[in-house]
Amino acid sequence: MWTKIPKNWLWLFLFGSLWGAVEVLGGEALRANDVPLASVWLTAAALFLLAVGRGALNRPGTSAVIGALAALYKLANAAPFYCHLLGIFMTGVMFDAFASLLLAEKEGRKDWWRAPLTGALSAYAGNALFAVLMTFVVRYQYWVGDGLRKFGRHICVSGSLAALASLLLVPLGLRVGAGGEALSLKRPRWAASGVAALACAAWAAGRLFG
- Please give the backbone phi and psi of residue 106, each rounded to the nearest 5 degrees, phi first: -120, 110
Task: Write out pLDDT tens, residues 136-164.
Answer: 998 888 888 877 889 999 999 999 999 99
Question: Which of the four pLDDT bands, split at 50, 70 and 90, describes residue 187?
Answer: very low
What is the per-residue pLDDT for 182? Answer: 53
What is the per-residue pLDDT for 178? Answer: 85
More confident residue, 78 or 86: 86
- d(C-alpha 148, C-alpha 134), whole Å: 11
Task: Write out pLDDT tens, residues 87-137.
Answer: 999 999 999 999 999 987 654 556 889 999 999 999 999 999 999 999 999
- d(C-alpha 36, C-alpha 72), whole Å: 26
What is the residue extent of each domain of the chain? 8-202
Q: Does residue 1 carry a pLDDT above 50?
A: no
- d(C-alpha 205, C-alpha 210), whole Å: 7
- d(C-alpha 153, C-alpha 127), whole Å: 10
> Could you tell me if 195 and 14 are in contact, meaning their C-beta atoms sit under 8 angstroms apart?
yes
User: What is the pLDDT of the chain when averaged over all its residues?
Assistant: 82
Question: Which of the four pLDDT bands, split at 50, 70 and 90, describes residue 205?
Answer: low
What is the per-residue pLDDT for 189? Answer: 54
The amino acid present at 85, given as its one-letter code, is L
What is the per-residue pLDDT for 116? Answer: 96
More confident residue, 5 or 70: 70
What is the per-residue pLDDT for 197? Answer: 58
What is the per-residue pLDDT for 190? Answer: 44
Q: What is the pTM of this model?
A: 0.85
